[in-house]
Structure 1
C-alpha cells in the first residue's frame, strides 16, 4: 500500500528543510497548514482525497496569481508562482487524456458492463 499523501508531504518537507531548499520548505509548510485548516473545518483527519483537493486549490491559486503578476509586468514573481505550482503538481494524481478515457469507455461498453 502506498503511503498517505499527507505523510509524503511531511517527509518531503523534512527533506527540504535538511537540504535547506527555501522554496520547497515554504510551499510545503503552507500546504500542510492549509491541510490542517481543512481538517479543523471537517472535524476529522484529512483523507488523501481531501489533501488532493487542498493541493489542487493551492495550484489553482498560484496559477491565477502568476497570470495577474504577468499582467502587471512582474515576470520574476510570476515565474516564482509557476515554480511553486509545478512543485505542487507532483502531489496530484495524473489525469487521463481524452483518448485514454474514450478507450476505457469503449472497453466497458464492449464488455457489457
Structure 2
C-alpha cells in the first residue's frame, strides 16, 4: 500500500471515528499530495519517496509554528500544531539519535577524505544523501561542523 493509499484509508477511518484532529491533519497531508501530483511532470502520481519529502517539509513547518506559538504564549494554537505534528510523524521514518548520526557522518567524512571545515561544502551533500529522511538537516549540519572542526 502506497503512502497516498494509506492516507486515503486513514481519512476514511478518521471520518468514521469522528476524530476531528486526525481528520484535519490527514486532509492537509492529502491536499499536499494532490498538489504535488498536479505539478507538471508528476503525471498525477506521487512516489513514496516524494511523499516522505513532502511530509518532512510539513512536519518542519509545524515544528516552527509550534515554537513561534509557544514564544508568543498562544497555547491554544500550539496545541493544534502539536496534535497535527503527532499525526504527520506517524508517516515519517523513525528519526535517528545523535550518536547514530555521528557514526554515519564519521564514515561519510572518512570516505570523502575531508579533513577541515573547508571541505564542508563537499561533504554536506553526501551526508544529506546518506541520511535522507532519517535525520533533520539542521542536526546533520551541526554534527558535521563539529566533526570537521
TM bin, normalised by shorter chain, reads 0.7 to 0.9
Which residue matches 1:21? 19
Aligned partner of residue 60 in structure 1, secondary structure: helix
Q: Give aligned pairs, total.
A: 104
Segments of structure 1 that go 5 or more residues without pairing to the other structure are 107-113
Instruction: Report the Cα distance in structure 2 between the residues aligned to 1:17 and 1:9, rounded to whole angstroms.
Output: 12
TM-score by length of 2: 0.63
Segments of structure 2 that go 5 or more residues without pairing to the other structure are 108-149
Show structure 1 runs of 4+ deviating over 4 A.
98-101
Greater relative contact order (CA < 8 Å, ≥ 6 in sequence): 1
1:99 is displaced (CA, Å) by 4.2
TM-score by length of 1: 0.81
Instruction: Report the Cα distance in structure 2 between the residues aligned to 1:34 and 1:62, rounded to whole angstroms.
Output: 14
Instruction: Report the Cα distance in structure 2 between the residues aligned to 1:4 and 1:95, rounded to whole angstroms.
Output: 20
Which residue matches 1:66? 66
Contact 2:26-2:87 at 8 Å conserved across structures: no
